[in-house]
Amino acid sequence: MNVLITGIMGQVGFNLANFFSEQSHNVIGTYNQQVCLNFPSHKIDLNKLTDTPRNSLKDIDVDFIIHCAAITDVNLAQKKPNLSYKINTDATQAIVSFAKSKNIPIVYLSTDFVFNGFSGNYTENSPTEALSHYALSKLYGESFVKSYQKGIILRFTPIGHVNSLNHQGHSLLDWIIQSALHQQKIQLFRDKTFSPISSYEIFQTILKLIKNQQYGLYHLASQENSIYSAGKLIQEVFQLKPTVEPSIFPQNDYSKIRPKYSHLNSKYLPLFDLKTILKNLKSQRALK
């Protein structure tokens, strides 16, 4: 299959590109600032929209799209809401329009932040309530994908990845590993929940849904964990020196725009096991 991945130089996009390529699929990417040397790629400024994707990519032979490109920095989105809505909402509308013009499926990567975090254990049928411009811009993006009969929405929380590039920020996994290597104590919330997965589980799920033509909204998740308990599990699996300490989710500007209990559940997909996810990450990284 020929797969187009927007935001191929981001953490998730780059990892998905590698996984699909390793399975002998042809990968084409889009990027904004950082040129991708690993895969054929096209520069697209998602801040300049409407017909840009269609005009730039009209001659590409592609079977489906994975739309990863987004503003994911929650603080930046809060400071620059117009930019957030242009990239996360308007650009998504343009990419969906391009998919419709090709009559091909589109996979949209969304977030657990679309919920308010008051209760957790959210399923695909749970009502959404965004706390931040980031979350609201992603939620608006979902609406365009929902309107397309070949649209797939995946909500998830990342914990770490197999591949990384120098310009990419640290995942939770990398942060904990680096803190152990430098023997630096870090504090993780013991009362904030999530249900993290890696890009490999995203890849597995996308491949299955595309092959079976299962369109719609899905939650991609592991079982409920606090960030602190996940950190302890990372230390155990990766055999690290203990550096994580428990802390309390604060009542301040940070918490106002982030859900406290954001662990997901699914009515349609089985939950992944976090320890298995981490073991797989460890073994896959060892092969690099």
For every residue of the chain, DSSP letters joined together read -EEEEETTTSHHHHHHHHHHHHTT-EEEEEESSSPPSSS-EEE--TTS-TTHHHHHHTT---SEEEE------HHHHHH-HHHHHIIIIIHHHHHHHHHHHHT--EEEEEEGGGS--SS--B-TTSPP---SHHHHHHHHHHHHHHTSTTEEEEEE-EEE-S---TTSPPPHHHHHHHHHHTT--EEEESS-EE--EEHHHHHHHHHHHHHHT--EEEE--BS-EEHHHHHHHHHHHTTPPP-EEEE---SSHHHHTS-SB--B--SSSPPBPHHHHHHHHHHHHHT-
Q: Work out the mean pLDDT of the chain and round it to a whole number.
A: 92
> Is residue 52 predicted with pLDDT exceeding 60?
no
Tell me phi and psi for residue 79, to 5 degrees.
Answer: -80, -30
How much is the pLDDT for 286? 85
pLDDT digits (tens, 9 = 90+) for 127-183: 999 999 999 999 999 999 999 999 999 999 999 999 877 666 679 999 999 999 999
pLDDT digits (tens, 9 = 90+) for 234-275: 999 999 999 999 999 999 999 999 999 999 999 999 999 999
How much is the pLDDT for 48? 67
- Gap between the Cα atoms of 101 and 140, Å rounded: 21
Superfamily of domain 2-169+195-224+261-274: NAD(P)-binding Rossmann-like Domain (3.40.50.720)
Q: Where are the domains of the chain?
A: 2-169+195-224+261-274
